[in-house]
Structure 1
């Protein structure tokens, strides 16, 4: 979790979705699943916060897409930027780290769904790797 107590701001590329998020934020988890690859063109690097900590200052472009039986993804329908991932009936929402403005004070702590990663890159940072969704994350 982030130790910083500052509110972070973020947005999509065009500004049709903008937000503020109150700490604490979870450190970054990189997800290499097929859905993240298909929706972003690579893998996701995301933090997370409680749904109550996320406040939209602009949401005219925000659209949620039900990407599976257990999750949905938030994106800007004007510029196409991927921004969020959430599970209905859970308190947390994942926020793609690249949508945050400036330095975050966060660090990458693990990789998930590495069994699905593509062959054109290596994961060589020495961080823990999981072939699927770790049990401990199902409680978050």
Structure 2
């Protein structure tokens, strides 16, 4: 499946291809601090094509990840997992008719009590997420 998106001011445009229609919700404190809530993201692997790259600011938020945003309007563009060369895009950024489905939640142990999703999902704690990526799966 292919999708496209752009920032609020239109200086940055993205073309992506995603392997599935499955979404993840990340409840980690950094995602919530960055966006004001959980990040609902789709895995785009390394298929992201960015037009207007000169306007993208990459912030190295940890030893393993960068967060990208438009330097003019501040739109959140991606979470980039450096060791895997893997982009995760906020699903709301994408203009698509895809039938997205929330299938898993990560850092479930950091999710605040004031919200819940009704979907039945696979849930992983922060420790389980790190163990999964360290195993190379």
Match of 1:67 among 61, 64, 68: 61
> 1:84: which partner in 2?
78
Cα RMSD for the two superposed structures: 1.9
The Cα shift of 1:91 comes to 3.0
Q: 1:99 aligns with which of 93, 97, 101?
A: 93
| Greater share of helix | 2
Q: Match for residue 30 of structure 1?
A: 25
Deviation at 1:24, TM superposition (A): 2.6
In 2 relative to 1, CA 50–126 (structure 1 residues): closer, same or farther, beyond 3 Å? closer
- SS of structure 2 residue aligned to 1:63: strand
Q: What's the TM-score once normalised by structure 2's chain length?
A: 0.85
- The Cα of 1:115 is off from its aligned counterpart by 1.1
Task: Give the one of 1, 21, 30 matched to 2:16.
Answer: 21
Aligned with residue 41 of structure 2, among 46, 53, 59: 46
Contact 1:16 / 1:62 at 8 angstroms: preserved in 2?
A: no
Return closer, same or farther for 1:91/1:68 CA change in 2, 3 Å cut-off. Answer: closer
List aligned pairs for 1:124-139, cutoff 5 A: 124-132=118-126, 133-134=128-129, 135-136=131-132, 139=136
Question: What TM-score results when the alignment is normalised by the length of structure 1?
Answer: 0.84
2:116 to 117, 122, 130: 122
Paired residues of 1:11 and 1:100 also in contact (CA < 8 A) = yes
Would you tell me which structure has more strand in proportion to its own residues? 2
8 Å CA contact 1:16–1:60 kept in 2: the answer is no
- Which runs of 5 or more structure 1 residues have no equivalent in the other structure? none
Query: Which segments of 5 or more consecutive residues in structure 2 lack a partner in the other structure?
Result: none
Indicate whether 1:56 and 2:70 are aligned. Answer: no
